[in-house]
Amino acid sequence: MDDVLRPLIVVGGSVVLTLLLGWATDLLLRKADERHHETPLWGLLRRARVPYQLLLCAALLRGSYDEARLLPDREIALGRILTLVLIGSAAWLAIRIAAAVVETTYARYASTHRQRNPARVRRVRTQVTLIRRVVSAIVGVVAVAAMLLTFPAMRAAGASLLASAGILGIVAGVAAQSTLGNMFAGLQIAFGDMVRIGDTVVVDGEWGTVEEITLTFLTVRTWDERRITMPVSYFTSKPFENWSRGTPQMTGTVFWHLDHSAPLEAMRDKLRDVLRECPAWDGRAFNLTVTDSTPSTMEVRALVTARDADDIWTVRVAVREQMIRWLTDEHPYALPRVNTADAVPAPRFDGYRVPDGHRVPDGVPAARRAHRHPRER
């Protein structure tokens, strides 16, 4: 009877105590989150309640399984399993806590500097994301190493592993040359301020917004909601356009091909009226000039400004559409026209064609008949 009650008491007590401590801790964090709205730290720490409870339960069972006499014939195996769970849950909890602290620091910084320096905020966000991934990778590697060291065979092989570490490092470096290059490129992007999360970029002719940056790849979300995943080494080895570099303000152009009689002064007044009614226009500048001409049309260019790439696109399409509609309704003669006329045959003299505007003199010799038009030969 004692062999049955003792394990039930130990296991049941550990589970109940774990649930009580987890509930009490979660209640304290919830109340702290309600009192301190200025920081998201307490709400983020509540996400760690699962690894926290798993760590408590594993620690309680690991410390009392000897007295409980759980599976006496499997005592070593059970102790090792509990140790592995303890190490894994501790690493999981450390990653969650580190993420909560990093996210809280970024949130405080962003709330203070978002209006004054949004580019700096995006840079810090990129750095914070990569730092969090690096910390998670380091904690994971350390946890796996600690798990392996719990096996006696791995501890015995430690000396030989250290002796061959140099050779293995060289082989691994050659085999993972591309991966290591991408990792160093990711760190260079994070701390070199080359490209940040939220930047508007043009890569390989595709316009989009940087959505995610990791140590090995970068994701660009295009305007039509496609995702382009590229290695981060691309941005350190090839040129690309970063429209958010410095200030996000942009200047855009709109072109029309119009008749030479188009009313330019009226078009300038109409452009000013259209921009005043367009919320995306930032009010910095606008202009309308003739940039080229052909025998049948002239090229008119409107120059407009906006706060960022999204707004400049909105301004351009609004100006183009409303100007064409206004010209169609008010000045239809300004639109391009194709002049057509009936073809007039050229005059003929003595079997061969005479160029227009020329008079054939009297007494043309018969030998000139050899110069007849090719179609009449």
- What is the token pair recorded at 263? 């009313």
DSSP letter at 361 equals P
Tell me which residue of 195, 250, 190 sits closest to 220, measured CA to CA: 195
User: What is the topology classification, in CATH, of domain 155-246?
Assistant: SH3 type barrels. (2.30.30)
Mean pLDDT over the full length of the chain: 76
Strands, E assignment, 162-270: 200-203, 206-213, 217-222, 227-231, 241-242, 250-258
Domains of the chain by residue range: 1-150, 155-246, 250-334
Check if the beta carbon of residue 254 is closer than 8 Å to that of residue 304: yes
Instruction: Tell me the pTM.
Output: 0.47
Query: What mean pLDDT is predicted for residues 260-269?
Result: 91
- Band (pLDDT 50/70/90 cuts) for residue 49 is confident
User: What is the topology classification, in CATH, of domain 250-334?
Assistant: Alpha-Beta Plaits (3.30.70)
Strands, E assignment, 54-107: none
Residues 330-366 have pLDDT tens digits of 999 888 876 666 656 655 545 545 455 555 455 544 4
- What is the token pair recorded at 189? 């992007």
Rounded Cα–Cα distance for residues 355 and 321 (Å): 47
